[in-house]
Structure 1
Amino acid sequence: MATYLYRIGKFAYRRKGTVLSIWLTLLVLMGVGAATLSGPTNDSFSIPGTPAQQAQDLMAERFPEAAGNDPFNSLSARFVFAAPDGQTLTDPANEAAMDAVLDRVRDIEQVEPAAKADPATPPAAGERSAALVNPVVAHDGLIEMVTQQAQQSGKPLDRALADAQALSSLSADATVGYVDVPFTGEVTDVTDELTAEIDAAAQVGRDAGLGVQLSGSAAQVQEAPGGTTELIGMAVAAVVLMITFGSLVAAGLPLISAIIGVGIGSLGITIATGFTELGSMTPTLAIMIGLAVAIDYSLFIVSRFRHELTVTDNREEAAGRAVGTAGSAVVFAGLTVIIALVALRVVGIKFLTDMGMAAGFAVFIAVLIALTFLPAMLGLFGSKVFAGRIPFVKAKDPESGSMQPGASMRYARWIARVPLVPLIGGVLLLAVLAVPTTGLKLALPSQATADPATSARQAYDLIDDGFGPGRNGPLVVVVDARDATVPAMQAFGDVVTTISEQPDVANAQVVGVNQAGDTAQILVTPASGPTDPKTVDLMQSIRDGEAGMHEQIGVNYGVTGQTALETDISDRLQDALIPYLLVVVGLAFILLTLVFRSLLVPLTATLGFLLSVAATFGATVAIFQNGWGGLVGNPQPLVSFMPIFLIGVVFGLAMDYQVFLVTRMREEYVHGASAKDAMTIGFTHGSRVVTAAALIMMSVFAAFIAEPNSFIKSIGFALAAAVFFDAFVVRMVIIPAVMALLGDKAWWLPAWLDRILPNVDIEGEKLQRELPAHALEGEETVAAR
């Protein structure tokens, strides 16, 4: 491979005009495509095959009119009214204020036509009015209706009134009420204009003295991710590059390459939105990862180019050698990242698959840019690559062959002398940091986990205080009585009775029967909130009881609702974690075995990854969930799909540093150094550039902590922490110590396996043999300028 990459590097350097023109043309075409072919992002959410989703699908099939009641994907807004202190919403002035708000709501074009109907007009026979009315009017009408029904059916009045209160949109003390407003369209149809109109309607009530808070998908301000965060990350990266190279030009080359690569990658993802549904976070995560690896990969090649200029005065030759050697490491490092990202398909969740594929595409472009665009840029600048010297910055060749005992050489020799000390110290440090992981809690983003300063969270808290915590997260049981051995209505009643006997049930009642009379919706209001473990236990207990009910009366039912959907998602992610790890680690182990021609080096690399990811989880849980240090104003459970995504990304990035650092050790070992000397020399050659690369990647990721989106914020921190733990503790403390302890055994490979494995020559040994004689002998050594 090194030989082919060597030829590519020389070709790109020599034909710089052609190569640069191709990339710039591609960037322009991608821009045109993004402007003309892109579509909207879609944050709708479903996981086919889960029990809750199956119940949701059954409800949509049997109750077509309720098909838009999906708690994740329906477009609606909830107006929550709170009476001023010492007053109730039944006061005439407060009723009038709520009516004024609803009058303003009816003027919004996207409100469902049925909701705009005149509430004074009686509904058709057999139909229930969908017109918007204030909570006081709705409550009075509900009480009147259930009282009449109780008298006609003989149902105890107190039970009927209790059921009515469980459905009422007015709290028992009449201080809190709410109105749910349905909108036409999907969650992707939310615009700034719509949210502004909703807020303007709420402001009418606020001006009249009411407390009015908003929640629901239509009322959420759509935060545009990205922007200044990338600029912050690149600014820090520029500083690190200038210190590394001591040159403005050399520092700019990786940044230019990264901008072109990320531009093409992000525009390609934008084009893809016109052909498939992608979430709004997908491009942001792809940019985050693509930007970090693009700068790092270019850094490694420019650094190697600088080193090669110390052994040859032929700049085209130096570019070829840099791409042939460091470029080989870039290819395999990029492959490990791509494998980890694309393997997210194993999870079987579309939005994770999309994020993995998009980020993998960005990494692929970053690799191609580093191998072709960058050497073309080196050719464009020629002898001016290291021009623009920065005063007071003495940047030595980070891969200098000089063995004068600098700090990195002394450190590596110390590790070689007492390897057990850094090994045990590093492992203990990461183990201690991992301790908070034992308290890891997961949840999907919701009003319950929103910032208390937001209107959505305040609306949630008002409902919790006024109606009880269960009103924010009721369970819906969809009962199919087609094969029931008793009349359907009796079957529905039996299910309600059985559920009502469960602990933690505040209320259970039939709230809808389809036209065929064979399917019912049972609304179960828990006594606990949607994120409370008691509610999860109740949901599971109801599900467990289905087999008995089927055996007794022949009914089938499913449980859906926010808690059920979130629990099923978490279970799906947990079930997929082991298969995902097996696929990722297995494929990467094979790849690393090819790279290092060793079994123990890939094994120790994988174990080191496990340590770094455990410490990362511990630090993230401590800060974002437990609120340590007061760095997060609203500590909450981590997003449920964060662990599996983080594991995939961190594994790929961890292998980056393993490849870049340990390949230099193997290069020395292959060229005749002893195992300990190879470790020492390889570490000395690679540590400074790996340090710079890690600092750059950390700065890019850490900049995303400033994002308003909670998932982006936490994943930015977690990735930055993971890079720190893996690069500076695992790869620069633990791995060198292990290599020193293992000695020659580190490079052991069974003879039979050595015969069948292809030799990818990542160290460039074959390249060194095939280089022209004039490139190896008698060339004047020149200092990089």
Structure 2
Amino acid sequence: MSRWLARLGGLCARRAKTVLALWLTLLVAAGVAAASFYDGADAGYEIPDAEYERVMDQLGDGIEEFDGAAALVLLSTEDGEQFTAEQREGIADLTAELEELEEVRGAEDPFAQQQQVDQADDEVEEARAELTDSAEELEQGQQDLDQGRDELEEAQDDLDAEQQQLDQFAEQVGGQTPPVLEAQQELDEGQQALDEQREELDAQQEEIDAGWTQHQEGVDEVELAEREAQLSSQARTVSEDGTVAMMNVQLIEDAFTIESEQQQRVIDAVEQSLPAGVDADYSLELVQDVAGILGPGEVIGIGFAGLVLLITLGTVVAAGLPVALAILGVGISVAAIFALSAVVDLTETDPVLALMLGLSLGIDYTLLLLYRHRQNLLRGMAVADSVRLASGTAGSAIFFAGVTNVIALAALAVTGIPFLTVMGLAASLTVTIVVLAVLTLGPAAASLLGLRLLPRRLRPGSLTVEDVGSPLPTPEQNRLSQAERSRLSDDAQQRLMDRGWGRVVTRHPWAAILVPVLLVGALAVPAGDLRLGLPDGGSEPEGSTAHTVYDEVRETFGPGENGPLLALVTLPEGLGETAQRERGIELAEELTARDGVARAVPVASDDAGQMRLIQVVPEDGPEAIATADLVDRLLDDRTELAEDHGAESVGLTGQTVANIEVADRLQGSIPLYVGLVVLLCVVILLAIFRSLLAPVLAAAGYVLSLLGSLGTVVMVYQWGWLRDLFGVTEPGPVLAFLPILICGVLFGLAVDYQLFIMSGVREAYARGRSARVSILSGIAQGGPVVVACGIIMVSVFAGFVFADLAMIRPIGFGLAVGVLIEAFAVRATLIPAVTALLGDAAWYLPRWMDRLLPNVDVEGQALEQDFPGDDDTQVNPPPAPEYRDDAARASR
């Protein structure tokens, strides 16, 4: 590998201008592709086969008006007085205008909604009074009917008596005489009149019976309406003092697929039609965007990284090269990710993560390459040879570090969560492009700049910058004097080994072990209280419109209004409308009676009435532990609730439910992913260091760094420690995918820093030095690079701690702390100290395993025959003579 990379570096150095032109062309092409195909970051943090997804799909199919994101427009009066009649009329007109937008499915007039709630009891009383009046009328009608029947029966009795008398008279006169016939005709006509009257009374009875049936239906309806009014009596869309109103706006798209242009059209429509004297603020669904992924904080972080580079490399040109190369690689990567959005659903964090990783790794890897190149030049090598050698040695470390990062990030796919898979692959693409840029454009730029990468005082005295006219000056021009070589090589190395950090670690190994373990262990303790969630308006910066809405809703209408739950009830076929309605109300009443529920109100049904939607408002906010517990209990009780209320199913959905389900699924996938990357770490480092214990120590250090990083995130963003310093508006659950993301990124960095320091230790030991001297040599060689890289990474990641996108802040903070722990506490202190105590045992490897493992040659031993020379120009020059082991293990 080292020999192949050396040849690649040499080729790029010889064709430096061509390589530079190719990369610039690639940058332009990527930019054009991004401008042409960018389709927005419209993917959500969704999980396939999740309960909330299934219920939301079912809801969208049956009750279309609730399909899409529910946004809030919070309206308030500028003078703090109650809304005037003109303002209320203007807001009613505004809701009508919003419903005309293609982005809006529906908008509710908050004053009309509040009026319905306020008048519900009065309407029930009016209906009850009407029922009382109708009952009195029915009772009076029944009395009149009964009196009519009594009179009819009396008349019938009289008629029957007359008929009997007539029959007796007819017997006496001997038959049907004309008088008898005439009297009989009169009686028949009377009977007919009575029959007709009886039929009329029967009809009246039917009407009264029907009236009583209708009355009972009215009574049932009023009872249901009264129960509904009782359930919704505490719901408000207008504050009690009449100065604040919540306008509910149902969007066509959900919160993650709506585009910024669509959001802006809704906001513009509100602003243009707002009545005079009314202000509007908007919930997160209408304002969240990833418009500016590079803000002032990030620029400051890059600037500080440039200062570290200047101190490390000594010239503005050398310091600017890593930044420029990283920006070029990141530019191509982010543009490519934007272009891929046409075929892949991206989340809003994908390009930000790519930017964060690309900048930090690009600067780090370029620094390592230039540092090795600079060391070679200081030993008197020609520029061309130095570039080739640096590409073969540092390039090997860069290649394996990059491959490790790519594998760790791509391994996010094992979680089975689509948005994490895309996030990992996007980050892997960025790392791949950055590594390619460092391994090709880095050597090209180094050859073009020649000795300008060295400070003036360290260049050969006979040459100036103007004397270096070609990309590949001759060795005679570039070789330093023997005095300069001696001063910069032997003396500097001996000084580092005499007074450097390695001497402290090897002289006081127990202190170097206990201090990091105790310190990082203390930081890791809060990780045991880790709670996961997704950001809401409460996590937005204080003073932002989204946070204003969140805070005002919490204070005015109750914390649960910021995250209501939706319960979807599916009833069996064949039920009447009243029965359907009653079962929905019964379930809402039971939910209202449960601990943690402020109220549960039936809000909608499908056309057939078979699906009933109930809004469940928790007593606490969406980020509260009590709300998460409530959701868990309801999810566990779904089957029981359905059986108790004669429903086919009861489902739970809504943004709060989605956040909790996503967090639970991600938290469950962390052990699998961490176990995978730890195993990967051991396997990779086993091949590189050819030792049993070294990979185990590296993996243990990685786990310690990870726990320390997560612990500090919990302290700041969940517990609220130092919240003002870091701009934490509302302490709450940690971003759901942050732990698994930090797992992947820190794993790659852990292997990077392990390679930068311990590969030098391994090489020195393999050359016959003692264990202690090997550690001194490795730290002297790789320590400055790790220190500089660590500071740079911390600077770049820390720049995102104050990013405009609130969900990025804890990621930047966690990674900055993780790198700080990894670089300084673990890789530069703890691991070398443990290795020093273990001595020769640290490098033990069974012979059979040694034969099976591939020889990856990270330090470029295969290049020694290509670059012969004295100790100053060898690939891995030995330390000063007095530090050589007298009993050199030549067999190694």
For Structure 1 versus Structure 2, the TM-score category normalised by the shorter chain is: 0.7 to 0.9
Shift of 1:543: 2.3
**Where in structure 2 are there 5+ consecutive unaligned residues?**
128-216, 460-483, 876-892
Asked if 2 retains the 8 angstrom alpha-carbon contact of 1:110 and 1:184, the reply is: no
Residues 255-312 of structure 1 deviation map (CA, whole Å, 9 limit, x = unaligned): 2322221222122112112222212321121111111111111111111112223455
2:260 is the alignment partner of 1:260: no
Task: State the partner residue of 1:300.
Answer: 368
Q: What is the letter of the counterpart of residue 79 of structure 1?
A: L
Question: In 1, distance between residues paired with 2:871 and 2:625?
Answer: 73
Distance 1:408 1:151, change over 3 A: farther
Aligned position for 1:587? 680
- Matched letter for residue 99 of structure 1: E
The within-5 A match list for 1:444-593 is 444-482=534-572, 491-550=583-642, 553=646, 555-593=648-686
SS at match of 2:800: helix
Letter matched to residue 271 of structure 2: A
Using a 3 Å threshold, how does the CA distance of structure 1 residues 184 and 664 change in structure 2: closer, same or farther?
same
Per the alignment, residue 731 of structure 2 pairs with 636
Q: Contact conserved, 2:379 with 2:872, CA < 8 A, in 1?
A: no
2:861 counterpart of 1:771: no
Map residues 622-771 of structure 1 onto 2, 5 A cutoff: 622-629=715-722, 630-633=724-727, 634-637=729-732, 638-768=734-864, 770-771=865-866
Q: 1:490 to 1:228 in 2, by over 3 A?
A: closer
Pair 1:365-2:433 in alignment: yes
TM-score, structure 2 normalization: 0.77
> Does the 8 Å contact 2:12/2:444 carry over to 1?
yes
Cα 1:565–1:298 change in 2 (3 A) is: same
1:78 to 2:78 alignment: no
Comparing 535-544 and 401-410, the one that deviates more: 401-410
Q: Would you say the 8 A contact 1:225–1:284 is kept in 2?
A: yes
Determine the C-alpha separation between the residues in 2 that align with 1:113 and 1:2. Answer: 57
- Gap change, CA 1:388 and 1:365, over 3 Å in 2: farther
**Could you say if the C-alpha distance between residues 612 and 350 of structure 1 is closer, same or farther in structure 2, counting changes exceeding 3 Å?**
same
Shift of 1:324: 0.9
CA gap of 1:41–1:528, structure 2 versus 1, over 3 A, is closer
Report SS of the residue matched to 1:55: helix
In 2, the alpha carbon distance for the partners of 1:741 and 1:351 equals 44
Question: Aligned equivalents of 1:647 and 1:534: distance in 2?
Answer: 28
Partner of 2:139: none
**Closer/same/farther in 2, CA of residues 437 and 314 from structure 1, 3 Å limit:** same
* Residue 580 (structure 1) shift: 1.0
AA of the residue aligned to 1:748: Y
Once the two structures are superposed, residues 539-578 of structure 1 have per-residue CA deviations (whole angstroms, 9 ceiling, x without a partner) of 2222222233455546221111233111101101111101
Q: Which residue identity does 1:576 align to in structure 2?
A: S
Percent identity, aligned pairs only, is 34
Q: Distance in 2 between matches of 1:325 and 1:556?
A: 64
Partner residue of 1:161? 229
Cα 1:222/1:76, change in 2 over 3 Å: farther
CA distance in 2, matches of 1:485, 1:748: 77
CA distance in 2, matches of 1:608, 1:267: 35
Report matched runs for 1:226-305 at 5 Å. Answer: 226-305=294-373
Corresponding residue for residue 125 of structure 1: none
1:178 Cα deviation from its structure 2 partner: 1.9
Residues 503-512 or 480-489, more deviating: 480-489
SS at match of 2:859: coil
Change (3 A) 1:47 1:266: same
Answering whether residue 405 of structure 2 is matched by residue 337 of structure 1, we say yes
Residues 334-370 of structure 1 deviation map (CA, whole Å, 9 limit, x = unaligned)? 1222122112222333333222222211111111112
> Map of 1:43-442 to 2, 5 A cutoff?
44-68=44-68, 74=69, 76-81=71-76, 88-89=82-83, 93=84, 95-104=85-94, 106-107=96-97, 111=101, 134-139=112-117, 153-155=221-223, 158-171=226-239, 174=242, 176-184=244-252, 187-191=257-261, 193-194=264-265, 197-198=268-269, 200-201=271-272, 204-205=274-275, 207-208=276-277, 212-219=280-287, 223-311=291-379, 313-386=381-454, 400=489, 402=491, 403-406=493-496, 409-442=499-532
Q: 1:168 to 1:621 in 2, by over 3 A?
A: closer
One-letter amino acid of the structure 2 residue matched with residue 52 of structure 1: Y
d(CA) in 1 for partners of 2:113, 2:603: 18
User: Secondary structure of the residue that 1:79 maps to in structure 2?
Assistant: strand
Give deviations 1:403-449, integer Å, cap 9, x for gaps: 42337754322322331111111111111222343444433211233
Q: Is the Cα contact below 8 Å between 1:102 and 1:201 reproduced in 2?
A: no
Question: Is 1:624–1:714's contact at 8 Å kept on the other side of the alignment?
Answer: yes
* The structure with more radius of gyration: 2
Alignment CA distance shift 1:253-1:497 (3 Å):
closer
Matched-pair contact (CA < 8 Å) for 2:756–2:785: no
Normalising by structure 1, we get a TM-score of 0.87
Alpha-carbon distance in 2 for matches of 1:506, 1:655: 51
Change (3 A) 1:484 1:736: farther
1:234-259 per-residue CA deviation (whole Å, 9 max, x = no partner) reads 32222212211222222232223222
Q: Which of the residues 693, 710, 726 maps onto 1:600?
A: 693
Question: For residues 79-121 of structure 1, what are the alpha-carbon distances to aligned partners after superposition, in whole Å with 9 as ceiling and x for unaligned?
Answer: 3446966x655xxx2x3213224435655696359989xxxxx
| Letter of the 1:224 counterpart | G
Structure 1 residue 729, shift from structure 2 partner: 0.9
1:702-736 CA distance string (max 9 Å, x none): 12223122222222222222111111111111011
Aligned residue type for 2:371? S
RMSD (Å), alpha carbons? 3.4
Shift of residue 2, structure 1, vs aligned partner: 1.2
Change in CA separation of 1:642 and 1:390 when aligned onto 2, cut-off 3 Å: farther
Report the 3-state secondary structure (helix = DSSP H, G, I; strand = E; otherwise coil) of the residue aligned with 1:525: strand
Letter in 2 for 1:544: D
In structure 2, what is the Cα distance between the partners aligned to 1:83 and 1:146? 36
Letter in 2 for 1:671: R
- Greater Cα shift, 134-143 or 37-46: 134-143
Look up the match of 1:71.
Answer: none
SS at match of 2:567: strand
Structure 1 segments unaligned to the other structure (5+ residues): 69-73, 117-128
More displaced 10-residue stretch of structure 1: 288-297 or 225-234:
225-234
Indicate how the Cα distance of structure 1 residues 777 and 51 shifts in structure 2: closer, same or farther if over 3 A, else same. closer
Distance 2:754 2:630 in 1: 47
Q: Structure 1 CA distance, aligned partners of 2:379 and 2:834?
A: 32
AA in 2 matched with 1:361: L
Whether contact under 8 Å (1:146, 1:160) holds in the other structure is no
The letter for the 1-side match of 2:447 is: G
CA drift at 1:330 = 0.7
The aligned amino acid for 2:513 is L
Superposition deviation, residue 130 in structure 1: 6.5
In structure 2, what residue type is equivalent to 1:647?
Answer: C
Aligned match of 1:31: 31
Distance 1:57-1:381 versus aligned 2 partners, 3 A rule: same
3-state SS of 1:12 partner? helix
Are the equivalent residues in 2 in contact too, given 1:199–1:219 (CA < 8 A)? no
The answer to whether the 8 A contact 2:497-2:503 is kept is no
1:122 is matched with: none
